[in-house]
């Protein structure tokens, strides 16, 4: 990885400039030029190391979302995963080591649409879908360092002001639809987006700034794909924690450098007894398991039931689409 690539990915996973010529500002800070920076981003996108340059929206601020799981016979897994992938509302879809072996994230405009998607997947596949919506977040701000400092989390964005930002479907909805898959790599991307929507460049920048201040946009920057950047061991570490202790442990886990995500989701007994979810990404399975062991010892969790669900296959990984075109997926039913 070149020095320019390393610094670009380390420094701009958040806090992407909201100025008329953002790539020019990046180039100036990186000691390069706008065309070189844009060419590098285009190459990283083509190679799959970067999924987009754009916003990550805060969960539950827009639409409705859930983490869902299915238990699918191994011989049907690829076929069912392909069916699930066909829904534009699904943005992540993984096989994990567990009897519940297919895990996906779905985001829809509202709860009714989300239930339609889950119901459609269940009825078409013939397998039950277990929905685990987010209850409380402790740390959801995924970032990865590309240098010797990779034992540290990427610095978080400045605290948001949580100012009021009344949602205007005509303005905010059209802007979200235009940028949810990424900014264009033009010299003036906000002008390009504005021209598509009939908005001025200033209006696009001001609206995005307001959405950041209001907390609708959690972070804005270069969104990397961890697997392509060497973090090939992805483990979901789930805990069965007494309800009156979940906040304390959630905060403790969030402070740990190797814990990349941490949040509370509901139990669904007897099928799923776990209520606290954490994610650990590492370069190898042994590295992740060694860290899990250290974590259990450090936080005195030997008596806390937990499971480690490593991902085996990645069927889909892309940005969430909060506004999608009318359903066009095939209506075949799997048997």
pLDDT tens for residues 245-302? 999 999 999 999 889 889 999 999 999 999 999 999 888 899 999 999 999 999 999 9
pLDDT at 6: 87
DSSP SS3 for 151: coil
Compare 22 and 64 and report the one with higher pLDDT: 22
Q: Which two tokens stand for residue 55?
A: 């916003």
Reported as a pLDDT band with limits 50, 70 and 90, residue 172 is confident
Share of the chain above pLDDT 70, in %: 84
pLDDT at 101: 98
pLDDT at 226: 67
pLDDT at 209: 93
pLDDT, tens digit, 9 for 90 and up, residues 12-26: 988 899 999 999 999
Strand-pair partners of 65: 107
Which segment of 93-107, 165-179, 182-196, 296-310 scores lowest on mean pLDDT? 165-179
**In sequence order, what are the residues at sequence separation of 6 or more whose Cβ sits closer than 8 angstroms to the Cβ of residue 182?**
45, 51, 52, 53, 54, 223, 319
pLDDT at 335: 31
pLDDT at 61: 67
pLDDT at 293: 95
**In sequence order, what are the residues at sequence separation of 6 or more whose Cβ sits closer than 8 angstroms to the Cβ of residue 162?**
213, 214, 215
Reported as a pLDDT band with limits 50, 70 and 90, residue 230 is low
Helix axes 34-46, 22-30, angle to 10 degrees: 100
Is residue 161 scored above 60 in pLDDT? no
pLDDT at 164: 57
Contact 254, 202 (CB under 8 A): no
Reported for 251-256, long-range contacts at CB under 8 A and 24+ positions apart, including other chains, are 251/138, 252/299, 253/138, 253/139, 253/278, 253/295, 253/299, 254/138, 254/139, 256/295
CB crowding 324-335: b at 16 or more within 10 Å, else e: beeeeeeeeeee
Average pLDDT, the chain: 86
Is residue 167 scored above 70 in pLDDT? no
CB atoms within 10 A of CB 7: 18
Q: 299: closest CA among 264, 253, 263, 238?
A: 253
Q: What is the rounded average pLDDT of the residues 301-319?
A: 92
pLDDT at 134: 94
């Amino acid at each position: 990885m070149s020095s320019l690539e390393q610094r670009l990915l380390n420094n701009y996973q958040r806090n992407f400039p909201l100025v008329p010529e953002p790539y020019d500002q990046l180039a100036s800070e990186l000691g390069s030029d706008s065309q070189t920076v844009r060419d590098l981003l285009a190459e990283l996108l083509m190679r799959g190391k970067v999924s987009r340059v754009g916003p990550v929206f805060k969960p539950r601020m827009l639409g409705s979302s859930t983490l869902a799981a299915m238990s699918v016979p191994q011989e049907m897994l690829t076929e069912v995963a392909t069916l699930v992938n066909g829904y534009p509302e699904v943005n992540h879809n993984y096989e994990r080591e567990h009897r519940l072996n297919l895990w996906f994230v779905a985001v829809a405009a509202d709860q009714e649409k989300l239930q339609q998607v889950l119901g459609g997947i269940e009825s078409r596949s013939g397998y039950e879908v277990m929905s685990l919506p987010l209850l409380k977040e402790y740390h959801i701000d995924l970032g990865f360092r590309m240098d010797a400092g990779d034992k540290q989390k990427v610095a978080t964005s400045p605290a948001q002001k949580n100012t009021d930002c009344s949602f205007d479907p005509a303005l905010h909805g059209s802007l979200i639809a235009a940028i949810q898959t990424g900014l264009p790599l033009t010299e003036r991307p906000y002008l390009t987006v504005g021209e598509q929507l009939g908005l001025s460049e200033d209006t696009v920048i001001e609206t995005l700034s307001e959405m950041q201040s209001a907390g609708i946009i959690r972070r804005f920057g270069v969104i990397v794909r961890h697997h392509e950047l060497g973090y090939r061991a992805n483990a979901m570490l789930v805990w069965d924690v007494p309800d009156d202790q979940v906040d304390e442990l959630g905060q403790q886990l969030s402070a740990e450098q190797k814990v990349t995500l941490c949040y509370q989701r509901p139990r669904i007994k007897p099928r799923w007894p776990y209520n606290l979810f954490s994610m650990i990404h590492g370069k190898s399975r042994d590295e992740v398991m060694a860290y899990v062991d250290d974590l259990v010892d450090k936080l005195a969790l030997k008596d806390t039931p937990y499971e480690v669900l490593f991902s085996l296959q990645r069927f889909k990984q892309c940005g969430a689409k909060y506004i999608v075109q009318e359903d066009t997926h095939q209506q075949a039913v799997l048997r």
